[in-house]
Amino acid sequence: MSGLEKSIHIKTFGCQMNVFDSDRMESILVRQGYRKEADLAKADVLLINTCSIRDKSEHKVLSLLGQLKPLKEKYPHKVIGITGCVGQRMGRALLQRVAHLDLVMGPDGVERVGELVEEVVSRGRRVLETSFDNQKERSYSQPAVIDKVRPSEFLTVMKGCDHFCTYCIVPFVRGREKSRPIAELLDDVRRFVDRGTKEITFLGQNINTYGKRTGESLAELVLCTNEIQGVERIRYVTSHPRDLGMDLIRQFGQVEKLCPALHLPFQSGSNAVLKRMARLYTREEYLEKIAALRAARSDIALSTDVIVGFPGETDQDFEQSMDVIREVGFSGAFLFKYSPRPGTRAFEFGEEVPDSVKTERLAHLQEVCFGKIHEENKGLVGSTVSCLIEALDKKGRYYTGRTPHGKLVHVLNAGEACIGKILDVEVTEGNASNLKGYYVGAPRQDRTRDSEKAVSA
């Protein structure tokens, strides 16, 4: 049986890298003759692209798999597959545990998804693919099948990670670092720009060491991208404080299209905890990098990740994380309770911090951190910010976009035609998680979807 007339649905959990992988899988399967199906229950092939960074993410996947059992019993011809990090981590055990699962594959199987699905469809076999590819570098072109223009695109430039932070599952499920060649990435960027994209965010688990085995570098990639006509904004994520070198730091003051925003996770403000996490820097070194970034670009917006309740974290350790939050004044933050991941070193550490303590610490951290962000956002009221309009927000109310500093903006008088445009927006409201405002030069009339309908009715 060929893919012709059959439909696929890919459900994606986790990070932007997974979104990118899902686009690639979809692209491969569509080229093979599959039709995209928006309704998961109606698709002939259902792939769930998964994340295993936290325990909770895995539970969501397993719970969805449970819900799909009756569907598979009713329509046994349907193919159900798990791809991505949970597939890699659980592998054969997942196939054994879930009888209605046909395919389990890890992130390195993306390019082979077509043949793997075909093997299930045509031979009726259950398939497991969790081997890592051993090429020195990775090569593939960006997804060809995209429904609509995305003003802001993510582009995966490398995979894997050579660090082994003791809490992290990534090196086990995504393997060692492998970078894509710059020339190929620039071709991808040009294709995005030709379709109307204005902002590119390069993605890598430890992006600062992009190209280290191939003699290329992130600084070089940024410089070359800056030269491409039509690119208006460049960003990259995720940086590691030890690997963020002065060449990259200086670029924030030198490269025109590089946005003044950087995500730099510190994870803990305590040197003792950082050591147990094997983060390879101290709190002092982290703060030195922050000072260098601000010296290079005084208005740079910094965001971070913090883990609370890492094994053995004392009240004093936690206070040191609070100090860093207070001292730096981040513009954005992802704050998490430590989640033990089987297979990592920290899983064996013991000295588990009780969940009630983790919850209390997290709440305290959130209050201070998000309070500061709220103050910063309120301080922007009355100013004019530049905003690239990306889409209607999730609730379908406002057209939204981001400033070069990465602030999310709901533009109250923007309509569909504004998507892909960079507008000057006067900020009228600063909330904890977003700004609201009106774009300058247009009537100040709220154009939520409902009011648009009302106008056109």
Applying CB under 6 A, which residues contact ligand SF4? 161, 163-165, 168, 170-171, 205-206, 240
CB 220 to ligand SF4: min, Å: 21
For residue 342, how far is the Cα from the chain centroid? 22
Calculated CA dihedral for residues 199, 109, 49, 237, nearest 10 degrees: -30
Minimum CB–partner distance for residue 171 and ligand SF4 (Å)? 5
Closest approach of ligand SF4 to the CB of residue 169, in Å: 8
Amino acid (1-letter code) at residue 223: L
Measured from the CB atom, the residue of 161 and 419 that comes closer to ligand SF4 is 161
DSSP state letters, 402-413: E-TT--EEEETT
Shortest CB 277 distance to ligand SF4, Å = 8
Q: Kindly tell me which of 88 and 206 has the beta carbon lying closer to ligand SF4.
A: 206
How would you classify the pairing of strands 152-156 and 199-203?
parallel
Instruction: Select 205 or 331, whichever has its Cβ closest to ligand SF4.
Output: 205
Q: How far is CA 79 from CA 104, 109, 291, 332, 355, in A?
A: 11, 17, 53, 40, 39
How would you classify residue 420: left for phi > 0, otherwise alpha for psi between -120 and 50, otherwise beta? left
Which of 191, 247, 253 is CA-nearest to residue 221? 247
Nearer to ligand SF4, 143 or 204 (CB): 204
- Cα within 13 Å of Cα(111), Cβ side: 9
The distance of closest approach from Cβ of residue 311 to ligand SF4 in the complex, given in angstroms and rounded to an integer, is 16
Q: How many residues make up the chain in this entry?
A: 457
Tell me how many degrees the CA angle 336-342-344 measures, rounded to the nearest 5: 80
Rank residues 103 and 161 by Cβ distance to ligand SF4 and give the closer one.
Answer: 161
Which residue in 363, 362, 421 sits closest to 389, CA to CA? Answer: 421
Minimum distance, C-beta of residue 443 to ligand SF4, in the bound complex (Å): 47
To ligand SF4, the closest distance from the beta carbon of 330 in angstroms equals 18
Closest CB to ligand SF4 among residues 6, 289: 289
Give the nearer residue to ligand SF4 in terms of CB position, either 168 or 222: 168
